[in-house]
Chains A and B, each alone.
Chain A
Amino acid sequence: EVQLLESGGGLGLRGGPLRLSCVGSGFLFRNYPMNWVRQAPGKRLEWVSAISYIGGDTYYADSVKGRFTISRDDSRNTLYLHMNNLSAEDTAVYYCARNDHGDYGVFDYWGPGTLVPVSS
């Protein structure tokens, strides 16, 4: 069974850093592109970042470019989101989501999410 589990959420300080992790199991993690998606309270889903299955290609939403870094450690089946210079607008539930194989295999599995409230 495919499972994704995020961790690392919790109170973030404005201007400060935070690192999120997502561990995948039940599939060959290294073969799949991965994403972070977030949802602020009462708001729409927002794609944040993606990383290719080799890890050489990364992509970011304009709202986080230059502040967030996505990475992966395939030896640990783990996806990371390194967040810096946090702002109140980063307050959200952060989900990791897998892309299945093929051009259309977007977000086929999601983790339960981890809440990141940002406070001053």
Chain B
Amino acid sequence: GAVVSQHPSWVICKSGTSVKIECRSLDFQATTMFWYRQFPKQSLMLMATSNEGSKATYEQGVEKDKFLINHASLTLSTLTVTSAHPEDSSFYICSASLAGGPLTDTQYFGPGTRLTVL
């Protein structure tokens, strides 16, 4: 149980285009989903926290207009990288929490999406 999927698993796009990444909780409802970015040989860095039906909370230094997050249902959150540039190339990982609310810390991670911007 507690399986999280991401689509696509990898994507290559031209500079200036937008890319949408989907994160789905397959066998549970996730009130809260998290988006992380990981550069090579570095730790996961939290980008934003999204709660179903409300606006996402972005970490300091993350541009909310560039990284659009939509959490329209309890099983789906999307991250759209707008006007992508080569420096946005990274490994994007989502996670979903079984129980919602500010005190939850049980996160299940997706397999990640490799984004390469040419």
Do the two chains belong together in a single complex? no
